[in-house]
Amino acid sequence: MYTANEKRYEKMVYNRCGESGLKLPAVSLGLWQNFGYKDNLANMENMCHTAFDLGITHFDLANNYGNPYNGSAEANFGTILDRGLRAYRDELCISTKAGYDMWPGPYGDKNGSRKYLLSSLDQSLKRMKLDYVDIFYHHVFDPNTPLEETAVALDQAVKQGKALYVGISNYNSQQTADILKIFRELRTPFVVNQPSYSMMNRWVEKDKLKDFAVNEGFGLAVFSPLYQGLLTDRYLHGIPVDSRIGKGSTWIKNELNDAMIIRLNKLNDIAMSRGQKLSQMALSWVLRDGIVTTVLIGASSPSQIEDNAEAVDKIKFTQEELNAIEEVLRN
């Protein structure tokens, strides 16, 4: 039976999620990849235990995680909870999402309807054998459903006791502003937006979503902070056969040209001068200004989680380091 590390809270940094009372670890574990039906359960369990032993209390899921079988990541996580981690339920922040295609027919396709969201949440709770999740997200903006319907459905999940907080994902600043107005009228505990963000993908800066989060008091939990694994030392000399790009499981391969490899090596030089790996510096960079609440990492092994958790040790950058990084990214 699993027993957690007694020193698990000694090194991890915890950030308040916007102006709410909820704190999230600066590094969280996402279960998008490597937690599916065909993956190794013992490895999944080891990764979750390693994460929690390092003070990573936040585990982020979605109804459709676990390709090729939607829901299998949640089912596997439920099994991991049963095998020892459930004893620490009150120390965990478990989130799930609904919004993308999930089951056949008009009620389970990509949408934000009340029917879909509340049915999906019930399914997620059943798979994980939970009474509630800590955060329930609408996974992607749906232009075909009235925003009020989506907001009221999320609010009802809280009123039913099936979620403590709500969030949105893949919403831009204007879409966020529109649903935020409704949440405030309903007094819904909306606390977080989950967008993509990395050194190579800075749309949240151009869109002013980061500024909006600060001004309006909600948190940002960002996914793909390593740009689908490109911002690691795996691709400094080409494409390893066993990498995500090598296996053809990510779209990012189209960007890995000679110029990108040169850019990655220059960023790696800066990371080494800081005493970090490239992946660690990439995570630290996303967290650099205190606006992002948490970075959601994916992993295929416990050692990757251990490496990434060390990013919290060196979040601060000198102006010279930031300038050097900007110079590399511009070229």
DSSP for 174-196, written as a single string: HHHHHHHHHHHHHT--EEEEE-B
Query: Half-sphere exposure of 63 toward its Cβ, with a 13 Å CA cutoff?
Result: 27
For residue 35, what are the CA distances in angstroms to 39, 41, 45, 77, 249?
Answer: 6, 8, 9, 8, 15
pLDDT digits (tens, 9 = 90+) for 282-331: 999 999 999 999 999 999 999 999 999 999 999 999 999 999 999 999 98
**102 is in which domain, residue-wise?**
14-228+285-313
Residue 254 domain flag: no
pLDDT digits (tens, 9 = 90+) for 103-161: 999 999 999 999 999 999 999 999 999 999 999 999 999 999 999 999 999 999 999 99
Give the chain's domain count: 1
Write the burial class of residue 47 (CB in 10 Å: 0-12 exposed, 13-18 middle, 19+ buried): buried
3-state secondary structure of 227: coil
Residue 296 domain flag: yes
Residue 3 domain flag: no
Residue 198 domain flag: yes
Residue 243 domain flag: no
Residue 327 domain flag: no
Torsion angles phi and psi, residue 45, rounded to 5: -65, -45
pLDDT for res 102: 96
Q: What is the CATH number of the domain that holds 290?
A: 3.20.20.100
Residue 308 domain flag: yes
Per residue in 214-231, is it b (16+ CB within 10 Å) or e — as a string?
eebebbbbbbbbbbbbbb
Alpha carbon dihedral 280, 282, 284, 290, in 10-degree steps, equals -160
Residue 126 domain flag: yes
